[in-house]
Amino acid sequence: MTTSARSSYLDAEPREDNYLAAGYGIKSWLLTVDHKRIALLYLISLTAFFTVGGLFAVLVRLELLTPQGDLFQSEIYNRLFTMHGTFMVFFFLLPSVPAVFGNFLLPLMLGARDVAFPKLNLLSWYLYVAGGLLSFVAMLAGGVDTGWTFYAPYSSTYANSQVIVSALGIFVAGFSSILTGVNFIATIHKMRAPGLTWFRLPLFVWAHYATSLIMVLGTPVVAVTIVLVAIERLFHVGVFDPALGGDPVLFQHLFWFYSHPAVYIMILPAMGIMSELIAAFSRKRVFGYPVVAISSLAIAVLGFLVWGHHMFVSGQSVFAGFVFSLLSMLVAVPSAIKVFNWTATLYRGSLSFRTPMLYALGFIGLFTIGGLTGVFLASLAVDVHVHDTYFVVAHFHYVMVGGVVMAYMGGLHFWWPKFFGRMYPENVARTAAVLIFAGFNLTFFPQFLLGYLGMPRRYHAYPEEFQVLNVLSTAGASVLGLGFLLPLCYLAWSLKYGRKVGPNPWHAAGLEWTTTSPPPKHNFDAIPTVEHGAYAYAELDAEEVAHA
Amino acid sequence: MFQDFSLFPEAASTVAGRVDELYLFLVGMTAFAATGIFSTLLFFAVRYRRRQGRKATQIEGSIPLEVLWSAVPLALFVFAFGWGAKVYLEVHNRPKDCMQFYVTGKQWMWKIQHPTGQREINALHIPVGEPIELTMISEDVIHDFFVPAFRVKRDVVPGMYTSIWFEATKVGTYHLFCAEYCGTKHSQMIGEVIVMDPADYEQWLSGQPAGADPVESGRLLFENLLCATCHEPGPRQRGPSLAGRFGTKVGTQAGRQVPFDEDYVRSSILDPMLDLSVGFEPVMQTYKGQVTETNIQHLIAYLKSIGAQPVAGETSAEGEEL
Amino acid sequence: MKSHVLPLRVYLQVFAALMTLTAVTTGIAFVDLGAWNTVVALTIALVKVVVVVLWFMHVKYSPRLIWVAALASLYWLLILFGFLMSDYVTRVPVEGWAPPIAW
Amino acid sequence: MPELAATHHGPLAHHFETLEQQKDTCTLGMWAFLVQEVMFFGGLFACYIVYRFLYPAAFLEGAHHLSPAWGTFNTVVLIGSSLTMALSVRAAQLGRRRGTAGFILATMALACVFLGVKWIEYGHKFEDGLIPGVAWHPEPGAAHGLRIYFGLYFTMTGMHALHMVVGLVLMVFVALRALRGRYSPDNYIGVEVLGLYWHFVDLVWIFLFPLLYLLGRH
């Protein structure tokens, strides 16, 4: 490819009817039904919640610097980790990729003018914000100290904190998630451009389809469970209260029926981003495309059959433990398949190591560790020892932060020019990516060791022999925190000073790159007709040569 | 800060080594897979970095490869399941003739009772080389009895008994943690397991204030609560006689056969109307609020001593397990 | 937009069938069939649901995707109930578990 | 087709190409929503199954505190309302404006009868002291687990009633739109979707009725 071909992609002036220019007042944002603007609303609110959740994490790590539990009282500490968990899980991780990237990109990738139900989409955002505000109210009114898992009977009877308000916040946010799922399912089924058959769809779309299924099928169960906890607290009906004949283990069943598949709600869209990044920066179609596509659905379906692996020591029957352990092993396979296929995609590619690609490679590394340590937890005897220890904490942070957040950051850099028509500064972005990767490992790797040593999670004070590893972890957390501050600054900077770009700064395949950056209000001047599958890099390269 | 620093926990029970073997196998598997993937990534990253004039080669995929890298992990994972399940049964299935300890968890302490009646809080003294079984219940929320050095852990649930067993192999003092988040002072619901030579244990026991033997205190409770009035043969007998009953089956008025075991005794004391014995009027009052969980455990110990199998021990159907 | 308009007669027949089934299920509840009472009641309920779904909700005349949606909800319900009960029904023989106790 | 999509007014929303696509999309969306409704009630039914398994006696006793006559009556009423709802959709398909609104009104009337009966039943439970946390003083010797039975009874029927109230609100809107002639044989998706929702509410009751009222009646 030649310099002249390249220049046609860069330094373009944005067109005047782009979606950002479609209105400037507050009302034009708060009442918008444009999926792209709603995505940005989510981006802003998610960043706010991520910051709050991150602050709680910082305080938690500071407390754990010393074994005595001397920085906060235990009441405060318990609230800190609970709020960290609820904000991060329910108000950042669950909506993160679907709400920002799914919303912005699905219609663009499908060649549609919007999602199927634009008003419902806006309602989803309002529900999400309302849920978040309720959680904020709960926080200001004294916080909640049940842990993000809300285990009964502690949550339903014993906790003296804002359980009901907080639970209501999660309930409301849950409906945001459900409606997003409904919206995406209808969009993917019915809004595809002519010629865009299922096996021509980008893997990002497949991943979002699988995630939407889980949102619709799983979320209502946790919603009704939360309702039951509130009813139990208000009326003492006994459903979860052993003092009245209830079985507290039932709460765990219902909670994990959703909350285990929920980790796939978080990771599947991240995997979708991964496929896009790997393909774009290798300039290749994804190796084994149909297998990767189907593996997303396999994860969504199998993911519903494994929830009991959270309950091996809870009083669940031995038989159920065996069944859930075996099925948990099966669900690890489609994830492994994805990792292998991404790696194989690099083979004989033309790899460039721009920031999004660095995040993608980081994802593969960290997700491999996160996924394989999941096998430890699915294996009964080892789980008995490491259950509810820092091993579990490390494992899910490797998947949730090392996986979801890495992909989120990678996607943010990749599609940033599409969102705003401007490029982020490359060098500082690469530095931040390396910082985040290093800080992450330093924070969470020691926690695997702590876990096997036996340090229980949610401990405010701990025996002295665990201090070395905890200090390492806190040190890593400061690096990680710094790593996250950098993008906050330079991305904001780039909104005004970043270099202007044309429709396709990455020379990437995909319908979203055929429209201008930022896209016009209705996405496409004419609905495109699709003639080949996603990742048509061979065709793209040929076109460029022809141009040159 | 570097005192007692280590990277691997002490192993001090018969099952600890078995769990560690499996753990190390999984660590090996992870290390192998991760090294493989990372070095491949690194190699590709260098070998196929973007260079002027070289294009990517488009590859569709490969069914044999897909099959290979589905089947190999599947086989490994299922193997990990099998091994984990096997060791789990060893961790879970107790041997016969365990020493019976009683554990009550409450916010935020462990109350422990020895077979011979001595009581302690947040500490458990045991003899080395003896299989120990703990029968556990919680008075409020869910707790979890966790001894890392023994690699055992079990939730302590309100309203239902759970049990755990272990056999210590090394004299020493080990951490006891509550591993299920239980509220404000969760991190202070900790204690020590002190493993002693059997002789030292005997000496320790005799040095303790001779807490009444559970059977004996159970007998006293049985008298003081006037249980005998209704539950022993006599003019005022209104309920089933209890001698020789423990370990048998009870026919209930609902027409079921339920085992006369710890849970049955406990529920009959706290909620007599549940599973009434056939042939008697529903006249018994609840003793809720009048007896503690520890009292109930004593009454159970007493009933066991006059039961069908006077030896303290098995009531549940462990033999039929999987 | 084509729409399949069912004749009025069909709706009335469906309603009559539902009424009959309601009468049967109420009537049979007063006859002692042992455990079969539950089976019969649930079977009748299921038949009623199928009738409502097929005709009132027009699934009989809908594209395959709608069938899939309806069946998927049933399938996932069965996953929830099945795996949940697989714990409860196996607790007794394996761990000597008794129902939680009240006081 | 682009010129069609540029239409910003009329029954076709800007982001759809054809009315057919719009109808199919809305129907699919509603079904996806109903699937989540099924799972929502599924969680409650899961609790019911577990506690019925643990406390069979309490669930038999609980059923005896309910009136099968009221239950049967309400079942007839609710299935009747499903019929009128289906007829309303049919009227919309045929472009009968008044018929559509009229049948919706009939549905609303039946729904109100149902809720009225529910109100009376709840009142009886209050008098009998069978509402956990509000008025709970069952006869001595009541089966263990009765409190859970009534806890579930009120949660399940309450959630069901709440769904009916939501349906009633929606019906007001749809009936008004129907009267204003917003629906036509080409575009009656609002009525269709409302109908699907209402039939779902009926389906939940079809299971609640035998499970709560009838089992153990003999």
Instruction: Select from B263, B316, B321 the Cβ nearest to the Cβ of C101.
Output: B263
- Nearest chain B residue to C93 by CA distance is B317
Nearest to A317 among C76, C80, C94 (CB): C94
- Determine contact, residues A248/A254, Cβ cutoff 8 Å: no
* Per-residue pLDDT in tens (0 to 9) along chain B, 322 residues: 666 778 899 999 999 999 999 999 999 999 999 999 999 999 999 999 999 888 899 999 999 999 999 999 999 999 999 999 999 998 888 888 888 888 989 999 999 988 877 888 899 999 999 999 998 889 899 999 999 999 999 999 998 888 899 999 999 999 999 999 999 999 999 999 999 999 999 988 887 765 667 787 788 778 777 787 788 777 777 788 888 888 888 888 777 788 888 888 888 888 887 778 877 777 787 777 667 777 888 888 888 888 765 444 433 333 333 3
CA B176 to the chain's CA centroid: 13
> SS3 string of A256-321?
HHHHHHHHHHHHHHHHHHHHHHHHHHHCCCCCCHHHHHHHHHHHHHHHHHCHHHHCCCCCCCHHHH
Q: How many CB atoms lie within 10 A of CB B112?
A: 25
In a domain, residue D72? The reply is yes
Share of chain A above pLDDT 90, in %: 88
Confidence of residue D49 (pLDDT cuts 50, 70, 90): very high
Residues of chain A found within 8 Å of residue C83, distances taken between Cβ atoms: 305, 307-308, 320, 323-324
Task: Give whole-number Cα distances, C31 to A448, C27, D59, in Å.
Answer: 62, 7, 18
Sign of CA dihedral C83, C87, C89, C93: positive
Q: State the pLDDT confidence band at A8, using cuts at 50, 70 and 90.
A: very low
Round to whole Å and give the CA distance between B126 and B128.
Answer: 6
**Beta-carbon separation of B282 and D57 below 8 A:** no
For residue A449, list chain B residues with Cβ-Cβ distance below 8 A: 7
Interatomic CA distance for residues A63 and A50, integer angstroms: 20
HSE, CB side, 13 Å, CA atoms: give it for residue D213: 24
Q: Does any CB of chain B come closer than 8 Å to the CB of residue A232?
A: no
Residue C103 clears pLDDT 50, i.e. is over it: no
C94:B322 CB<8 A: yes
Tokens 């988040």 correspond to B181
DSSP 8-class letter at D131: E
Residue D143 CA to residue D64 CA, distance in Å, equals 12
Tens digits of per-residue pLDDT, C1-33? 456 789 999 999 999 999 999 999 999 988 888
C-beta atoms of A237 and D147 within 8 A:
yes
**Chain A partners (3+ C-beta pairs within 8 A):** B, C, D
Distance in Å, alpha carbon of A500 to nearest chain B alpha carbon: 24
Q: Is the pLDDT of residue A422 over 90?
A: yes
Residue A416: which pLDDT band, with cuts at 50, 70 and 90?
Answer: very high
pLDDT (average), residues A314-320: 90
A–B CB contacts, 8 A cutoff, strictly below: 287
Closest chain D residue to the Cα of B282, Cα to Cα: D141
- The structural domains of chain A, ordered by start, are 38-547 (1.20.210.10)
**Is A290 part of the contact surface with chain B (CB cutoff 8 Å)?**
yes
What's the mean pLDDT when you consider all of chain A?
A: 93
Residues of B whose CB is below 8 A from A159: 183
Nearest CA in chain A to C92: A317
Give the one of C76, C95, C100 whose C-beta lies nearest to A246's C-beta.
C100
Does position A3 have pLDDT exceeding 80, yes or no? no
How far is A243 from chain C, CA to nearest CA, in Å? Answer: 5
Cα torsion at A298, A301, A302, A306 (round to 10°)? 150
Q: Is the separation of the CB atoms in A30 and A83 below 8 Å? A: no
Instruction: Dump pLDDT digits (tens) for A18-72.
Output: 999 888 899 999 999 999 999 999 999 999 999 999 999 999 999 999 999 889 9
pLDDT score, position A299:
96
Q: Which residue has the tokens 């939360």?
A: A226
Which candidate, A535, A290, A273, places its Cα nearest to that of B61?
A290
CA distance, residue D164 to nearest chain A CA (Å)? 17
Tokens of A15: 């067109």
pLDDT mean over D110-123: 96
Domain with D141, as residue range(s), is 19-214
| C96 pLDDT higher than 60 | no
pLDDT mean over A343-361: 96
Q: Under a CB-based contact definition with an 8 Å cutoff, are residues B139 and B104 in contact?
A: yes
For residue D4, is pLDDT > 70? no
Give the single-character DSSP code of B272: T
Distance from CA of D188 to the nearest CA of C (A): 10
Kindly report the nearest CA distance between residue B216 and chain A, in angstroms.
Answer: 29
- Residue D210 DSSP class: I
Please count the other Cβ atoms lying within 10 Å of the Cβ belonging to residue A141: 12
CATH code of the domain in which D105 resides: 1.20.120.80
Nearest chain D residue to A239, by CA: D148
Asked whether the predicted pLDDT for residue A502 surpasses 80, the reply is yes
Shortest CA distance from C89: residue in chain A: A317
Q: Which residues of C touch D80 (CB under 8 A)?
A: 15
Q: Measured between alpha carbons, how far is B260 from B250 in angstroms, rounded to an integer?
A: 6
Both structure tokens of A451? 């876990």
Mean pLDDT of all residues in D24-31 = 95
pLDDT higher at A328 or B114: A328
Cβ separation D20–C1 shorter than 8 A: yes
| pTM of the complete model | 0.89
Q: Is B102 helix (H, G, I), strand (E, B) or coil?
A: strand
Is A296:A337 a contact under the CB 8 Å cutoff?
A: no
pLDDT at A150 over 70: yes
- pLDDT (0 to 100) of residue D88: 96
Residue A78 touches chain B, beta carbons under 8 Å: yes
Residue B84 C-alpha, separation from nearest chain C C-alpha, in angstroms: 18
Token pair 């201090």 in the structure block, residue = A467
Find chain A residues with C-beta within 8 A of D133's C-beta.
234-237
In order, the DSSP letters of A111-126 are: T-SS-S-HHHHHHHHH
Would the CB atoms of C101 and B160 count as touching at under 8 Å? yes
- Is D2 among the domain residues? no
Question: Euclidean distance between the first and final Cα of chain B, in Å?
Answer: 46
The nearest CA of chain B is from the CA of A32 a distance in Å of 41
Please give the Cα distance from B56 to B48 (Å, whole number). Answer: 8
Q: Report CB contact under 8 Å: C101, B270.
A: yes
Q: Name the residue among A245, A304, A319 with its Cβ closest to that of C100.
A: A245
Q: What is the pLDDT of residue D218?
A: 67
D57/B273 Cβ within 8 A: no
pLDDT tens-place string over residues A186-226: 999 999 999 999 999 999 999 999 999 999 999 999 999 99
Residues comprising chain D, all counted: 218
Q: Does the beta carbon of A344 lie under 8 angstroms from any beta carbon of chain B? A: yes
* Torsion angle defined by CA atoms of residues B60, B62, B66 and B68, in that order, rounded to the nearest 10 degrees: -160
Residues of D in contact with B271 (CB under 8 A): 144
How far off is chain C from B8, nearest CA to CA, in Å?
32
DSSP per-residue letters across C35-103 = THHHHHHHHHHHHHHHHIIIIIT-GGGS-HHHHHHHHHHHHHHHHHHHHHHHHHHHHHHHH--------
A133 interfaces chain B, CB cutoff of 8 Å? no
With contact defined as 3+ CB pairs under 8 Å, the chains touching C are A, B, D
Cα B117 to the center of its chain, rounded Å: 20
Q: Is B315 on the interface with C (CB under 8 A)?
A: yes
Whether residue A319 is predicted with pLDDT greater than 70 in this model: the reply is yes
The rounded percent of chain A whose pLDDT value lies above 70 is 98
